[in-house]
Structure 1
């Protein structure tokens, strides 16, 4: 099997989501650390405009974007099917969507600039923290008036956040995990993204009197990071060049405009900072789009993007 390569950076809650999953699944993996700001030349070669986001999962010359698709791939490789969104019940999928798009937005909507700056300079290398702050200031200036987090007041976000924290704590009163089982599911990974980030920034200050969340967070953190090794940038490029994308299942080949140039718009809550991802349409089903890109340094790659994304850091 090709190496499992995670393109990540420090302090990203979505990267942490995937790292925890890799640790839980006890998979050997490889890391390519990229900058906190732009540009990201290696990722741009591999994924074009998706280089603005992390994490990115690379397996040979297949490039998987967004944590919903990344989790699905790891779940398939490890055999832990409940860690894939697509193997949840309909009710669990709805809950997972709520955690991502309502709970997650509330966490982000309540972010305090001082807490962010303090946390980043405390927990990650100074150079990366500085890059993050500079990049976010540039993004804020460029996207003024487009940020969906500005749709509600701080008090409204606070009410939504506390509602979900109490709901999570209530479920965990009688269960080890939000899956309501003895093992975690994709629902736990979705919640973990935002609870982990809240703890990192302000020690879950809005979860006072809710002890079950902190116990659950400790269980999720205990999965550690698994067995991994850092790769140099030229190594991940060479791996893509030496590989061919895996064969596309026939179920993806009924799409209209197959083999034509097209664009995919990433549609999660940070879509407003993104440019469309361009390539040749080589596959599409009800869950994802597969684009083919070519570059002189890597040859041909396939980029896999969910039709309904579940988040990555910009």
Structure 2
């Protein structure tokens, strides 16, 4: 008898192989995804527990009269947020904070850039000088505050001792109206962090551009204004954003520089010139035990920081230069 067996079509085999390869590919992608989430899980867990949950909890209690002790919460709705608009101390602290940021952020960036320009050259012991200028930025803020308290003390401070050499009067630096000036000087003492960032940016400027401009007769100012500064603008943009966010949240320095060396019990003794917004928030939390209202103050500050950050980003198109534009073209 003749065999009636018909061999399978070639197309059927190809389809089967294709399906098996797709299954293997899906399994391989699935295993890769599992490995990714396994290694990322510590960060994801930390983000959820240490960031998302505290934010949600702070948002919740901002609508209550929580005092930090009692377990009974009374829902007050938007009353805490409405009280912010009638809190003269909060608005005065916010204005001081904005003034503080307007002074420290440009001066800090300009000072760090100036130091970077001075140290971005070949000379003897340049590494030593960079280290010396960078060290103040890594000194703990508590140690810096103690040093400045000793320097600006009215009776035993080195600043007044120097003034007395010229028969000048002793000045009470740590109280109004000079306390705000001491705070500014203390913050600008740590220019080394900005110097390192700017120095890294300067070393990324192509030497060929500078040499070509020098050959064409461009002076130092023209090379800085037309070549170095535009090439450095992304680095400066990064510093503007981060320093502005940091400045608007300043808390520790005003507390520590206040007379007596400020912890929680000294918050009301902070000179009025150093009563920044976050100092007022700290007092509402830990001095007046108004956790609900303090949380509302923090969310208002968050909204302000977000708005200022967005404005900075929108303005970046006017002054930040990128070698590759947003479309990916050179």
Q: What interval of TM-score do these two structures reach, taking the shorter chain for normalisation?
A: under 0.3
**Structure 1-normalised TM-score?**
0.23
Larger radius of gyration: 2
Which structure dedicates a bigger proportion of its chain to helix? 2
Structure with the higher strand share, 1 or 2: 1
Higher relative contact order (CA 8 A, sep 6+): 1
